[in-house]
Amino acid sequence: MEDILHKTQRVLLLRNYSPKTCKAYLLYIKEYIIFSKKAGLKNKQEAIEDFLLDKHKRKQSPQTINLALNAVKFLYTEVLKNPQKIDLKFAKRNKKLPIVLSRAEIGKIIDATNNAKYKLMISLGYACGMRVSEVVKLRVLDLDIDELVVHIKGAKGKKDRISVLPKMLQDDLRNIIAGKNADDVVFISNRGDSLTTTSLQKMFRKSLEKAKVNKPATFHSLRHSFATHLLENGTDVRYVQELLGHANIRTTQLYTKVTNPRLKNIKSPLW
């Protein structure tokens, strides 16, 4: 098994997969090998089906099951070069609407954040539609403060994109990058090293609780809110797609279900 995992890791690295994907694929491939050996399964199709059914029985999410299936497919097709097709469809994903915060709720969360550095990070998450990892990795050279533009590099799927900066954050951004070199990270800890996504998510949860916003929101909800509010303002969905870095416009169109003005104008029959 160790030889297979080592070979898989080499192929993943050669294909330039992200560290997060590499870690997940190796984990599920290891789980699959252990499961199939323990169950004494020789038939490939049966082994994969039973492996995925076991995950379903343990009430793991469709996203997790699909990722595990992708990992096993990668093992057979890309590592072991097995020509036999894996005839399995992906698990049906739950179609949940994103958690969107109102402008007033976002204002309360930002106001409830006493630490100036974290307050700016939360503000950027909403103002630019940035993921938590993108805010943490932001470098001085990525900011064009005068032009109100931020370059988000090496984002999900190893794609770069450009987003907008709000004028009201110009002075705060200039202050925080003062004295830093172009390649320096914008946000650093008190020890002088880079902040982690965990620390930012933890601060967001604290501010959410302090602001008494009763929604199951996460830092990623700021990105959802960014997209929704742009669409409410009349921004074309294709521009929103570019700002979010979505490869498929159908992903962006999900937000139109949250912000449909025609639905909002319908009055309930209960008077």
**239 catalytic, yes or no?**
no
At which residue do the structure tokens 């951004």 appear?
A: 173
Distances 48 to 8, 36, 206, 227 between C-alpha atoms, Å: 18, 8, 42, 38
Q: Is 25 a catalytic residue?
A: no
Whether 131 is catalytic is yes
* Amino acid letter, residue 55: K
Contact indicator for 76, 86 with CB cutoff of 8 Å: yes
The CA-CA-CA angle for residues 58, 59, 65, to 5°, reads: 95
Q: Known catalytic residue: 156? A: yes
CA distance 113 to 221: 16
CB atoms within 10 A of CB 124: 25
Residue 103 makes CB contacts below 8 A (sequence gap 6+) with 229
Active site residue 151: no
User: Out of 246, 257, 262, 264, which one is annotated catalytic?
Assistant: 246
Alpha helix segments (H runs only) across 194-246 = 197-210, 220-232, 237-244
Catalytic residue, candidates 119, 131, 224, 229: 131
In whole angstroms, give the CA distance from residue 30 to residue 11: 15
Is 223 noted as a catalytic residue in this protein? Answer: yes
Count Cα neighbours of 127 within 13 Å in the Cβ-side half-sphere.
20
Burial of 12 (0-12, 13-18, 19+ CB in 10 A): buried
Token pair for residue 98? 């994103």
Of residues 161, 223, 224, 229, which has the active-site annotation? 223
Q: Decide the pairing of beta strands 143-144 and 161-164.
A: unpaired
The catalytic residue among 73, 153, 156, 210 is 156
* Marked catalytic residue, from 25, 28, 32, 255: 255
Q: Catalytic positions, please? A: 131, 156, 220, 223, 246, 255
